Structure 1
Amino acid sequence: MCKLAILDKFTLFASGIESILKITNDCEIVHATSCEELFKQFKDSAPDVIIIDVIHGDNSGMRSIKKIRRTYPQIPVLLILSQNYSDCFEEYIRLGVKGFVFNDASGKDLIEAIKRLKEGGEFFRKKVWDIFKTSIQRRKYGKKKSQFLTDREVSVLKLFSSGLTYKEIGARLNISPRTVETHKRNILAKLKINTTADMVKYAYRNHIISK
């Protein structure tokens, strides 16, 4: 019997994942909408794999991943995501995530990913590495200060510099406007600047965007 935990804000999306997994008939599944709720269900026994839907999560799922890896580092984490999160791939892997399954993948891929992680392996299709390499090649970090920005912050900086609103940036990156606001606040603090105009100037001067 394989015990799985699904962290997902939306019950409907989680139900779709559960319906795929129940085909195997040998899975015990628990679902929670927050880390705190999830941890309460670990009192009797910890799961073999934790599945996190980062598409519908806040802050690209980073906060939840960090909390889970810090509290239960021995449990492998599998992410459900889309290609729009390519600029976060490196950070996800650095945090210890063991596998990615894209939201357009087949149920067979999801089941195979869980099996590999349960056996102590990893699940990263060639598609992941191709997207990862392309993302790295497209980076245009400027001088020293921009190296302190995460990939996601660089993406947000570029989109603000293109004149997009919080809502438009959120839609483009599949994150909430509030998360966009958090990223902007972090960018301003790291670069020691005060306004969106300063961000645009910085992006041009450091060749993060072209004139």
Structure 2
Amino acid sequence: MKKVSILIVDDHKLIRETWSFILGSDDRFEVIADCGDPDEAIKVAAEKKPNVVLMDINMIPMSGFDATEQIKKVSPETRIIGVSMHSQPAYARKMLQVGAHGYVTKNSSREEMVKAILEVDKGNKYICDEIRNIISEQLTETEPQGPDIQSLTDREIQIIGFIKKGHSSREIAAELDISLKTVEVHRHNILKKLKLKNTAALVNFINSNPSLY
């Protein structure tokens, strides 16, 4: 039986090594490479055309969303699974919109990861149980709507990640190669969507909801 070739993309070496060992020990899979840099991952995908890519969405300066779009351009047949600490359905939705076939959180079990890989390799979509359960709860939720997290753009999510790390607007502008004014506009929009008054409130919100970003 032909093995499913897998590329692992995550900026944490321990995570890459762990998944490489786990999946490499399964006769159904072959880990052909692991990358900690999105640009390198795009080059590897273009050259080796893996069946499946496990893509961490939280990387900088290029996010997993952007890397997914690029990989789909250079290797259209490759199936991509977003992997993240975020259990918000909005992140899963964004990954599917940019071309991914699946999404699992880092709370997912080894068994669920294996199931996800096998399903997307067949051409099916796969969303982990944690996300599907949250969606089910939201459909029956009657409480007033809180911060509009799902309306955040990929760039706004990326900037929130920089803010969480303590970067100033000027530092963010330099990292993303955009103008300071553009960063300030993004920050204004983030506060508006999250219904927060200022940066201090945003930092407090992020620290109070570590699983969101």
Measured after TM superposition, the shift of residue 92 of structure 1 is 1.4
Cα-to-partner distance string for 1:146-166 (whole Å, 9 max, x where unaligned): x7x627628968x9xxxxx93
Does structure 1 residue 128 correspond to structure 2 residue 115? no
Of 86-95 and 71-80, deviating more is: 86-95
SS at match of 1:6: strand
Q: Contact 1:8–1:56 at 8 Å: present in 2 too?
A: yes
Percent sequence identity is 16
Measured after TM superposition, the shift of residue 7 of structure 1 is 1.5
Name the CA distance, whole Å, in 1 between partners of 2:50 and 2:157.
35
Counterpart residue number, 1:104: 107
SS at match of 2:54: strand
Counterpart residue number, 1:209: 196
Counterpart residue number, 2:29: 27
Query: Where do 5+ consecutive residues of structure 2 fail to align?
Result: 140-144, 199-213
Counterpart residue number, 2:7: 5
Measured after TM superposition, the shift of residue 13 of structure 1 is 1.4
Counterparts of 1:1-211 in structure 2 under 5 Å? 1-29=3-31, 30-42=33-45, 45-58=48-61, 60-83=63-86, 86-131=89-134, 134=138, 138-140=146-148, 150=153, 153=156, 166=163, 169-170=164-165, 177=167, 181=172, 188-189=181-182, 199=188, 203=192, 208-209=195-196
Measured after TM superposition, the shift of residue 72 of structure 1 is 1.9
- TM-score, L = length of structure 1: 0.65
SS at match of 1:24: coil
SS at match of 2:100: coil
SS at match of 2:107: coil
Q: Contact 1:35–1:67 at 8 Å: present in 2 too?
A: no
Counterpart residue number, 1:173: none
Counterpart residue number, 1:144: none
SS at match of 2:108: coil
Cα-to-partner distance string for 1:25-59 (whole Å, 9 max, x where unaligned): 23221112334433544566421101112245545
* Closer/same/farther in 2, CA of residues 84 and 45 from structure 1, 3 Å limit: closer
* Closer/same/farther in 2, CA of residues 98 and 138 from structure 1, 3 Å limit: farther
Q: Contact 2:55–2:81 at 8 Å: present in 1 too?
A: yes
Name the CA distance, whole Å, in 2 between partners of 1:39 and 1:152.
20
Query: Where do 5+ consecutive residues of structure 1 fail to align?
Result: 142-146, 160-164, 171-175
Greater relative contact order structure (CA < 8 Å, 6+ sep): 1
Name the CA distance, whole Å, in 2 between partners of 1:124 and 1:186.
36
Q: Contact 1:35–1:68 at 8 Å: present in 2 too?
A: no
